[in-house]
Chains A and B, each alone.
Chain A
């Protein structure tokens, strides 16, 4: 376990370096000369003179070789400096830090909803296979996976905000603002978790150790929860890490629809304002969150399944 942990942690800096290279490339892919853009911002309404742009380019170090610029950017990024927003002139790290909590709140609420609904539903569907519950869950699973989050979001707004006036359509604040966006974001993942849990539960219930547990007279609840579920849980844990990727991506769209002041909305706004440093910082942050959560998931997976850990030691 420890050697695995060490190896996994050792690859982390390599991945981070790779992510930073992609992120840096992204910024350099952006059309337009940053010096020109920044000068226009500092003196609104005027065309910056060519000489001033060239001078500013030198000042910003844009004429240096690419590798040199990447090195300098990396050192600054490591110290938490991701440059300034073209639009507001404030540090990108600050802008993102202010918006990140809202995104994390939305995605974790959705994740909790997806697991809280998908997991029990999947277990029940497998235990009562062929029943009405199973049929309804499978239908929900199929529909949930097929309805795009933003279509569901608009339908929810139409029903609960426009027609029934039960919940607010946009904004941020109390719990009532969280309900609709979290629901819209969670449904696809809930369907995925449900389908996977059902499948692995069905497989687990078919195993010899479940028959043994039944044969020695254990109650059905103990068999299902103590024996089958424990083993069926493993694949579901992995899907949680993957779901997070979908949730972070989906949050970009959902936040925009609901006017949720998260990092996703900030990034989409930045796209249309051509505020490239914000877009770059956003990708970097999201990749970090995704990487760290998947590391945790991976570690918990090893912890849940001792077979993996022993197999590795022998090999």
Chain B
């Protein structure tokens, strides 16, 4: 059976009603969705949930254990760990969303141009994609971020620069398939410009599947951001960020292992959440895999 998004209208019940209800019945996906929603809520409500200023240094209260005042204790500069964790979720998830938006922007623009026009434009763009995919992604990202210099913005540039290639190829493939469809033919016959056909006719039809595939990847993006931040290439002190917090915790592995465990557990949970949700969504899109 064709993937869900390729199925015709006739004879098959509209998927928009079926897909979400199927997802709701899958406990693993629901767990993933729950984790993601809770984390997003924690990140967005950080200013109201946090009990302390995440960057307020208090050297008299350094490395305190959990207490009523500091639920998760304090770090090596006496900053409230829980507040840093909440604000850190903002940095990490916000950065992931920015990378995602930029990657989608580039991938949709170049992928559509490549797939719609074909010819030498296609050859050049897909040659560039092949080339970028010939690099181990994280290695190239580390090198770009390292060359541009440490900083959150440079990190985002580096990740977006290596991440768009795979999606551009994906979008191109879907545009190629969409070009053959009757609705594009009809739009062209009515005299719609290529830009109009691409943006108002093709994009709405391929947006859903691509977004779902990206969800599968969000966990990887989060891992990339915090991994590079862990190396010191991303968010700079005192900005709270989970990867940077883990790096800060390294010298205190022996004396205060909870400084490692709190952001570590948060990282594992959010990546697990994205993976569970992504798996569920992918199974919906590719019913062949559902029984697995």
Of all chain A residues, the one with the shortest Cβ separation from B127 is: A18
Q: Say yes or no: is B254 at the interface (Cβ < 8 Å to chain A).
A: yes
Contacts of B127 in A (CB 8 A): 18
B149-A147 in contact (CB<8A): no
**Size bracket of the A interface:** 35 or more
Stretch of B38-46, B61-69, B73-81, B128-136 that contacts chain A: B128-136
Majority-rule SS of B interface residues: helix
Majority-rule SS of A interface residues: helix
B147-A30 in contact (CB<8A): yes
Q: Say yes or no: is B15 at the interface (Cβ < 8 Å to chain A).
A: no
Listed residue (B135, B246, B269) with the most chain A CB atoms within 10 angstroms of its CB: B135
Q: How far is the CA of A13 from the CA of B223 in the complex (A)?
A: 33
A146-B271 in contact (CB<8A): yes
A280-B272 in contact (CB<8A): no
Q: Say yes or no: is A282 at the interface (Cβ < 8 Å to chain B).
A: yes
Of all chain A residues, the one with the shortest Cβ separation from B222 is: A148
Contacts of A250 in B (CB 8 A): 138, 227
Q: Say yes or no: is A136 at the interface (Cβ < 8 Å to chain B).
A: no
- The residue that A287 contacts in the complex, of B136, B138, B142, B230, with Cβ under 8 A, is B136
Contacts of A279 in B (CB 8 A): 143, 146-147
A154-B146 in contact (CB<8A): no
- The residue that A249 contacts in the complex, of B134, B142, B219, B253, with Cβ under 8 A, is B142
Q: Say yes or no: is B148 at the interface (Cβ < 8 Å to chain A).
A: yes
Nearest chain A CB to B277's CB is how many angstroms away?
12
- The residue that B136 contacts in the complex, of A15, A155, A162, A249, with Cβ under 8 A, is A249
Nearest chain A CB to B26's CB is how many angstroms away?
14
Q: Say yes or no: is A256 at the interface (Cβ < 8 Å to chain B).
A: yes
Listed residue (A15, A19, A203, A249) with the most chain B CB atoms within 10 angstroms of its CB: A249
Contacts of A22 in B (CB 8 A): 131-132, 135, 140
A248-B149 in contact (CB<8A): no
Nearest chain A CB to B222's CB is how many angstroms away?
9
Q: Which of B108-165 contact A (CB under 8 A)?
A: 127, 130-132, 134-144, 146-150
Sample of 12 A–B contacts (CB below 8 Å) = A26-B143, A146-B268, A154-B246, A158-B260, A199-B292, A249-B137, A253-B230, A271-B142, A279-B143, A282-B139, A286-B136, A290-B136
Given contacts A18-B130, A252-B142, A286-B139, 13 further A-B contacts (CB under 8 A): A18-B134, A26-B144, A30-B147, A142-B272, A142-B276, A148-B226, A151-B264, A151-B268, A268-B142, A282-B143, A283-B139, A287-B136, A291-B134
